[in-house]
Amino acid sequence: MIINEIFYSIQGEGPDSGLPTIFIRLTGCNLRCAYCDTKYAYHKGKEISISKILQEIKKYPCNNICLTGGEPLLSKKIPILIKKLHTKNYTISIETNGSLPINQLPKAAKVILDLKTPCSKMQQKNLLKNLKYLRKKDALKIVTNDINDLKFAQKTIENHNKKNSPIKCPIIISPMWESKSREKIVGWLLKNPMPNTRIAIQLHKVFNFK
């Protein structure tokens, strides 16, 4: 597998925000989000065997693993890695940009699925059928910059719920750190609540323990 980095820190976003976590960041991404803060993972990385990855993570006093990128689903070996980590009793989450199918992932992994909004300039890449594969233990993460992004997300979710079983997993609204509309975003959500939805700041922008 082509790995950009392996490091130990706190989880900065999503349903496990604040938990000590071992991050395995894979190289390569098929999207180019306007707000991306890991552009260094587009190309930089080195080939590491799964056995070497398992050996590397042993040195950290932690049981939580986050597979991230880049875009980890670009690697055909991700299912193998998830199964190996599961046999070692790790708790596994995988962060994916929402443009690739998630239904073939091993059930052991908790999926943190992005729903891209207009601020990403990648909203046309959303693979919306992924929404029907989300389980209660998964999460839908939505990065927003303004009210327009919130309205886009709300309409997308409402359209899905009308045609399918309603999304039951947590929906996490993550205002961009640089956004000047964070207070407006909170105010809008208070007036227009969305089921199973909460606001979460990006903790990794507050604390940098990498």
188-199 pLDDT, tens digit per residue, is 999 998 889 999
Residue, of 37 and 26, whose pLDDT is higher = 26
For residue 111, the cross-strand partners are 94
Please report how the helices 50-57 and 78-87 are oriented relative to each other, as an axis angle in degrees rounded to 10.
Answer: 40
CA angle in degrees (0–180, nearest 5) for 128-133-138: 105
- Would you list the DSSP string of 53-86? HHHHHTTSS--EEEEESS-GGG-TTHHHHHHHHH
Residue showing tokens 């190309």: 43
State the pTM of this model: 0.94
Domain boundaries, the chain: 2-206
Task: Give domain 2-206's CATH architecture.
Answer: Alpha-Beta Barrel (3.20)
Amino acid 206: pLDDT: 76
pLDDT in tens, 72-101: 999 999 999 999 999 999 999 999 999 999
pLDDT of residue 181 exceeding 90: no
Burial class (CB in 10 A: 0-12, 13-18, 19+), 196: middle
pLDDT of residue 97: 98
Strand partners, 110: 93
Q: 187 preceded by cis ω (within 30°)?
A: no
Element (DSSP H or E) covering residue 141: strand 139-144
**HSE value, Cβ hemisphere, 13 Å, CA-based, for 85:** 29
Higher model confidence: residue 127 or residue 200? 127
Q: What angle do CA 47, 51, 52 make, to 5 degrees?
A: 55
